[in-house]
């Protein structure tokens, strides 16, 4: 039996993955932004602990990490929380783009602060193929805002983060997962991919005993490994991302 923390698990893919893990006999720690959003996961999985906090801010992410750590070491962490369609540039309390703060910096900081797990699963997107990795303007202060490009960039950086951790921590299985375009609140009702399959691979990688999960530094879609964008596998790009995030948070991955 594994103990798994799933960020952004108040609804959608995060909650579905958590339910699957519990169905397989594992213990799950859930996460919601606030108490109002915690009502659905508490009803769906009574008895499972729910930590509260806003991953849009560095302070909020630190608070979430402290709550999770207080529950004991987790065998796996699923970085599921994300924002998608942000029509205008929203600046967080830390002066960062909301898309970057939630999609990239939060998983970095949680990874840096939590007791090291055996497995890390990073939710990315096939849209990372259209992302740009150079960190010359990651907060979109010099460019005209384009929410889709900002999202694509953030998902390329998430994939890069997954592979960077795999390289730095060879004893940890760190992988990225594309759940597909699924009909969640984020994806919208017209999304064409299978919702159940969208929640499956991250649960399988987090706690599955299939020998195929004994891998690291991979990118998966529906349990199948797929090629990653070249930038994500580039060590110099990985190091630049890690250094940038360490500079923002004061926390280095070592």
Task: Give the pTM.
Answer: 0.95
Domains of the chain in sequence order:
3-249 (3.40.50.720)
For 124, counting Cβ atoms within 10 Å of its Cβ (0-12 exposed, 13-18 middle, 19+ buried), the class is: buried
| Residue 223 Rama label (left phi>0; alpha psi -120 to 50; beta) | left
| Interval 108-152: pLDDT, tens | 999 999 999 999 999 999 889 889 988 999 999 999 999 999 999
Q: Is residue 210 scored above 60 in pLDDT?
A: yes
Q: Check: CB of residue 252 under 8 Å from CB of residue 113.
A: no
Catalytic residues: 151, 155
| Interval 71-110: pLDDT, tens | 999 999 999 999 999 999 999 999 999 999 999 999 999 9
How far apart are the C-alpha atoms of 51 and 197, rounded to whole Å? 26
Q: Is residue 153 scored above 90 in pLDDT?
A: yes
């Amino acid at each position: 039996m594994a103990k798994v923390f799933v960020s952004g698990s108040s609804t959608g893919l995060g909650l579905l993955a958590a339910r699957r893990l519990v169905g397989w006999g594992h213990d799950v720690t859930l996460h919601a932004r606030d108490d109002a959003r915690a009502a659905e996961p508490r009803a769906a999985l009574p008895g499972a602990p729910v930590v509260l906090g806003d991953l849009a801010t560095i302070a909020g992410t630190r608070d979430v990490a402290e709550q999770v750590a207080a529950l004991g070491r987790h065998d796996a962490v699923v970085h599921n929380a994300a924002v998608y369609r942000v029509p205008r540039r929203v600046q967080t309390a830390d002066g960062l783009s909301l898309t970057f703060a939630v999609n990239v910096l939060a998983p970095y900081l949680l990874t840096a602060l939590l007791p090291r797990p055996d497995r890390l699963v990073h939710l990315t997107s096939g849209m990372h193929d259209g992302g740009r990795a150079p960190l010359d303007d990651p907060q979109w202060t010099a460019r005209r805002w384009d929410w889709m490009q900002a999202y694509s960039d953030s998902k390329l950086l998430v994939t890069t983060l997954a592979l960077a951790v795999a390289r730095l921590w060879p004893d940890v299985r760190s992988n990225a997962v594309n759940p597909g375009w699924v009909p969640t609140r984020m994806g919208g009702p017209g999304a064409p991919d299978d919702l159940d399959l969208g929640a499956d691979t991250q649960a399988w990688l987090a706690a599955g005993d299939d020998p195929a999960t004994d891998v690291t530094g991979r990118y998966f879609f529906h349990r199948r490994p797929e090629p990653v964008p070249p930038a994500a596998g580039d060590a110099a790009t990985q190091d630049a991302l890690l250094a940038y995030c360490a500079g923002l948070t004061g926390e280095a991955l070592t």
